[in-house]
C-alpha cells in the first residue's frame, strides 16, 4: 500500500465526516457499538478512530463508567473529531496502531472500524491489540467486503478507469476494498495469538439525498482526491461530476439507495 493511502489531511476530514459518515460508516458504527453494549465498566480503546464516527456511537451506548480512549495516526482527523460537540468524555491520543503507547492488559475491548485495511503490517497491529487487551478481552473490527459488493464505490472506481485510462487512480480497489478474505484474516489473527475468531458478513444500504452527495465523499473525502489531483489538479470537480452522473445513470436523479457489504470480526484474547 502506498504511504499516501493513509494520509487524511487538508479538507479531507471535513468531507469524510460530512458525506461518508452518514453514507457508509454510521450504520456499521452503530452495529460495532452494540457489540460492546454489555460492558458496564473498564476501558475501551478505539484505533483508527478517524473523525470519531464510532466514537460518537460508543459515547451514546456505553455508560459513563466505561472510559473511552480514541486514537488515530492522522492528527488532522483527531483534531476534527475532538472539536465536535459532546466528546469531552473521550481521551484523544495520536497513536500508531502498530506500536500503541499503552501498557499490557490495559483495555477490556479494542474496536476499529474500517481501519485495519490501512495498516501496513496487519499482524503487528493484531499483536498490539492483543497485547493491550486484558485476558478475555475482545478485539472487534470491520473490513469492507470486495469492491463488487459495494455499489457506489464500484461505480466511482469504474469512473476513474474511464476518465484516466492510461493511469487510473486505484485507491479504492487497492486499499479499502482489498483486505476482504476472511480466511486470511482468521489466519493472521491466530498468528498474532488470538484464541478464537468469529466473522459475520453484514449487508447494509447506503443512502444519499442525491447522486452528487453519494460520490463527493469518496472523490473528495478520501486519499482518492490526492490521486486525482496528482494527475490533474484542475479536474477534481469534473471528475466528481462524472462519478455523480454515473451514479444517476444507475439510480436516478433522486434519493440514492445502494447496497454495501462488510465483514465484522470479533477476536478473543
The span from the CA of 41 to the CA of 75, in Å, is: 28
Total domains, the chain: 1
Residue 164 lies in a domain: no
Cell of 179: 483486505
Q: Could you give the residue ranges of the DSSP H alpha helices within 133-201?
A: 151-163, 171-174, 182-191
We report the CATH number of the domain holding residue 104 as 3.40.50.150
pLDDT of residue 1: 66
Instruction: Please report whether residue 236 resides in a domain.
Output: no
Which residue is listed with cell 461518508? 20
Residue 41 lies in a domain: yes
| Structural domain includes residue 98 | yes
* Range of the structural domain that residue 58 is part of: 3-147+172-205+261-268
110 belongs to a structural domain: yes
Q: Mind spelling out the 3-state secondary structure of 41-101?
A: CEEEEECCCCCCHHHHHHHHHCCCCEEEEEEECCHHHHHHHHCCCCCCCCEEEECECCECC
pLDDT of 3 reads 62
Considering the domain boundaries, does residue 97 fall inside one?
yes
Dihedral sign, CA of 249, 247, 241, 147? negative
- Residue ranges in the chain modelled with pLDDT below 70: 1-3, 5-7
Grid coordinates representing 116 are 485495519
Q: What is the pLDDT of residue 266?
A: 98
Percent of the chain at pLDDT > 90 equals 93
The whole-number pLDDT of residue 46 equals 98
**Residue 54 is assigned to a structural domain of this protein:** yes
pLDDT value at residue 173:
96
> Which 3 state secondary structure label does DSSP give 144?
strand
pLDDT the model gives residue 7: 65
The whole-number pLDDT of residue 10 equals 83
C-alpha cell at 144: 469492507
The SS3 of residue 232 is: coil
34 part of a folded domain: yes
pLDDT of residue 5: 59
Amino acid at each position: 500500500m502506498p504511504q499516501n493511502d493513509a494520509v487524511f489531511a487538508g479538507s479531507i476530514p471535513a468531507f469524510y465526516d460530512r458525506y461518508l459518515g452518514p453514507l457508509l460508516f454510521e450504520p456499521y458504527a452503530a452495529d460495532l457499538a452494540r457489540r460492546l453494549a454489555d460492558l458496564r465498566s473498564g476501558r475501551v480503546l478505539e484505533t483508527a478512530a478517524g473523525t470519531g464516527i464510532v466514537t460518537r456511537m460508543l459515547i451514546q451506548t456505553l455508560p459513563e463508567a466505561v472510559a473511552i480512549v480514541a486514537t488515530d495516526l492522522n492528527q488532522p482527523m483527531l483534531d476534527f473529531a475532538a472539536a465536535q460537540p459532546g466528546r469531552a468524555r473521550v481521551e484523544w491520543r495520536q497513536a500508531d496502531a502498530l506500536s500503541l503507547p499503552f501498557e499490557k492488559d490495559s483495555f477490556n475491548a479494542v474496536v476499529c472500524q474500517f481501519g485495519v485495511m490501512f495498516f501496513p503490517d496487519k499482524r503487528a497491529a493484531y499483536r498490539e491489540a492483543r497485547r493491550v487487551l486484558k485476558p478475555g478481552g475482545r478485539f472487534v473490527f470491520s473490513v469492507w467486503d470486495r469492491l463488487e459488493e459495494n455499489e457506489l464505490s464500484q461505480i466511482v472506481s469504474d469512473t476513474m478507469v474511464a476518465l484516466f485510462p492510461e493511469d487510473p487512480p486505484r485507491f479504492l480497489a487497492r486499499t479499502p476494498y482489498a483486505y476482504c478474505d476472511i480466511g486470511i484474516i482468521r489466519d493472521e489473527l491466530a498468528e498474532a495469538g488470538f484464541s478464537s475468531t468469529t466473522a459475520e458478513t453484514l449487508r447494509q444500504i447506503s443512502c444519499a439525498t442525491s447522486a452528487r452527495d453519494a460520490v463527493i465523499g469518496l472523490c473528495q473525502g478520501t486519499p482518492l482526491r490526492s490521486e486525482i489531483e496528482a494527475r490533474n489538479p484542475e479536474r477534481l470537480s469534473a471528475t466528481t461530476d462524472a462519478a455523480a452522473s454515473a451514479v444517476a445513470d444507475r439510480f436516478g436523479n433522486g434519493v440514492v439507495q445502494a447496497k454495501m457489504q462488510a465483514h465484522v470480526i470479533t477476536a478473543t484474547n
